[in-house]
Amino acid sequence: MTWIAQNLWLIPVLPLVASGVIAINKQPQRKLAVALSIGSMVLAFLLSLCAFSATLIHHGESGVFREVAGFNWLQFGGQWLQLGWVLDPLTAIMLVMVSFVSLLIFIFSVGYMAHDENFTRFFCFLSLFAAAMLGVVIANNLLLFFVCWEIVGLTSYLLIGFWYHKPSAAAAAKKAFITTRIGDLALLLGMVWLYAKAGTLTFYDGGNGCLEIPTLAKAFPFEGFGFVALTGIALLIFVGAMGKSGQVPLHVWLPDAMEGPTPVSALIHAATMVAAGVFLVARVYPLMKPDWSALAGPHTIVSMPPLDATVVITWVGAITAMFAASIAVAQTDIKRILAYSTVSQLGYMMLGLGVGGVAVGMFHLITHAFFKALLFLGSGSVIHGCHEEQDVRKMGGLKKFMPVTFATYAIGMLALAGFPLFFSGFWSKDEILHSAHNWPVSQIPFYLGCAGALLTAFYMTRQVALVFFGQYRSRACESADHAHSHVLNPPSHDGGYEPHESPAVMTVPLVILAVFAILLGFVGTPAWPWFDGFLKGEPVQFNFSKLTEGGTLGLMLASAGIVFTGLGLGWWLYGKRQRKTVEEPDVLQVAQPAIFRLLENKYFVDEFYDATVVRFNAWAARICNFLDRWIWGGVVLLVTWMTLGLSRLYRFTDEFVVDLGFDTGCETLREGGDEISKWHTGRVQTYLRVIGVALVVLVLFLVWGRKA
């Protein structure tokens, strides 16, 4: 076993320790907090690179390179529960992505959170998050996975509610926590069911793991309902992934999560945490799409393979991709647009996992992590530069003021939109669409994906046009408002109302991410599907002819056409004729008010949930309250009264019956003692006198008694 596989646990433990040390240190020690969290992330990143290179060295050897290590954690019955970690290409690639993106976002946060008084708390939470996320990535046990998964959920809650004094942030944190909890419940049920069936939750254990064919074949026999149970477990686990990854209908928390600080949105709600759900599906992919014929054994012929969970995954992913992209068209908050875009892209990942397999979904996850982190950090830079303004209608013309942010943002936007050939998003999305096109079950997911891609290009163009082109609208209205008071109130210290470019600590991560947003695409092109081969443990050849065969070229052209249509439409509607004022209605709003209203209000999903789930919950709570207060409370009160009455009775008998007699006896005894003690003079001669008198009396009695 390689050294790095043995010591893989160091990667999550380093940020965990950093987080703990920051937590127990005093608040003003900012330098220490920054040094600890960034230092631990650098180390974790270097170790991740080690792990990655270890898998690279062994790549191409027989099958997938996989090393596991574990330790006994808990004994129950005669069995030890083993926790452990696994090093395989999937883990390695996620490790590098998570630690690298986290590192850049940590650096960005130093600049973004500079003015916040709870600076150290922020870094404590960020480090804890990174630790948990890295734990999720390396876990070789569904239980350890779940533990880290829940810590991730906790830190997400803490970070969304970081500005807890804002009621909206507190509500968003609560919403995120509760919504993901619904998914986690299903995940837990799936875990329990899997444990009951397979007897282990370890992923890979030399043939005894719950993802390996021998165990699965034993636990889920072809006869009876074995295969149905397997699909059921897979679906339950997928519901957990849906909650975390914001799939319809559990997507409602993700846009609200943008209440948190922007680096948090970038790190947690775009790049890593929401990807955890996708990663979960990829990790337990042998459950999601089992090799039915291998499970049934050589003697059984599976004439019709049973339905597996990937069908559901595909549909959910496709619907989410389309659904969220359409909402993003009508939003005005710069971060909310990106949030819905994230939901939509997560839908693509699920779609890719469903139709294409692990490599297709994971490739989009990795490329998306980079360009979405780039976009979010870019939006953070914009918000920072515009004095905490998030409404795109009040921005405009920022190209002039923030050139670096604009350039990097444009790269991110083109990558997200899937601009052909030079941007990573094109290759990863194309692969998903290609797989969807070849899906045997239905073509509808493919068309949904195409529509989503069109909308993606459209809304990103709209956003960039509104933010970076035209006039800076906020200044125009403000200067008109403040024209009179300008003499009394000269422009403030940070350059008046003009937006400003962010400091280097914020722009450098943007540039690095932008470079990766471009370059990453080239490891997964159809001509050189290195990523696919890397995950499957197969050698890869460079082959240009792959680009043209099997309809790949036609599909690429089609998706390029879609992207250009979206970009052109967006530019035609929003770029060519810029809005002049903030209040002006949207172009779409003028054209199609009903549809725009529907989209602007996110299909009224929140209202629908308010009217159904939330109201039902409130009613149930009210009933529980009633039961608690009147029924159970009444019983408790009755018992209380009975006890009180009994004790009063006891007290009465004690005081007036038992005590009274006893007291009288005691008093008499004491008085008697008093009387008798008076005889006890202490004078020896008195006693002697008494004895003498008694002697005389005795003698007299004897003498007279004899005579009588």
The footprint of other proteins (CB under 8 A) covers 676-685, 688-689, 692
Contact of 500 with 385, CB cutoff 8 Å: yes
Cα–Cα distance measured from residue 425 to residue 421, given in angstroms and rounded to the nearest whole number: 9
* Contact of 67 with 34, CB cutoff 8 Å: no
- Residue 74 or 688 having the CB closest to other proteins: 688
CB nearer to other proteins: give 611 or 693: 693
Minimum gap (Å) between residue 678 Cβ and other proteins: 7
Which residues fall within 8 angstroms of residue 169, CB to CB, at 6 or more apart?
160, 161, 162, 163, 259, 260
Nearer to other proteins, 303 or 677 (CB): 677
Q: How far apart are CA 136 and CA 279, in angstroms?
A: 9
Closest contact distance (angstroms) between CB of 667 and other proteins is 19
Closest of 527, 528, 557, 558 to residue 545, by C-alpha = 527
Q: What angle do CA 295, 299, 302 make, to 5 degrees?
A: 60
Measuring CA to CA, how many Å separate 228 from each of 153, 305, 309?
30, 11, 10
Minimum separation from the CB atom of position 639 to other proteins (A): 54
Residue 255, preceding peptide bond in cis (omega within 30° of 0): no
CB-neighbour burial class of residue 391 (10 A; exposed 0-12, middle 13-18, buried 19+):
middle
| Residues pairing with 76 in the sheet | 79
Return the number of the residue (495 or 692) whose C-beta is nearest other proteins. Answer: 692
- Give the nearest distance from C-beta 674 to other proteins in angstroms: 9
User: What residues contact 108, with CB distance under 8 A and at least 6 apart?
Assistant: 263, 266, 377, 380, 505, 506, 509, 510
Cβ 640 to other proteins shortest distance, Å: 53
Contacts of 1 (CB under 8 A, 6+ apart): 67, 69
- For other proteins, the closer of residues 485 and 685 by Cβ is 685
Q: Which is nearer to other proteins, 31 or 683 (CB)?
A: 683
Which CB sits closer to other proteins, 485 or 677?
Answer: 677
Angle formed by the axes of helices 334-355 and 424-437, nearest 10°: 40
Nearer Cβ to other proteins (488/676): 676
Q: How far is the CB of 661 from other proteins (least distance, A)?
A: 27
Q: C-beta of 691: minimal distance to other proteins in Å?
A: 9
Give 223 or 675: the residue with its C-beta nearer to other proteins.
675
442 is written with which tokens?
A: 């239905």
Looking at beta carbons only, is 1 or 684 nearer to other proteins? 684
For the bound state, the minimum distance from the C-beta of residue 684 to other proteins, rounded and expressed in Å, comes to 6
The Cα diameter of the chain in Å comes to 156
Asked if 582 and 474 count as a contact pair (C-beta separation under 8 A), the reply is yes
Helix (H, G, I), strand (E, B) or coil at 208: coil
In whole angstroms, give the CA distance from residue 608 to residue 366: 34
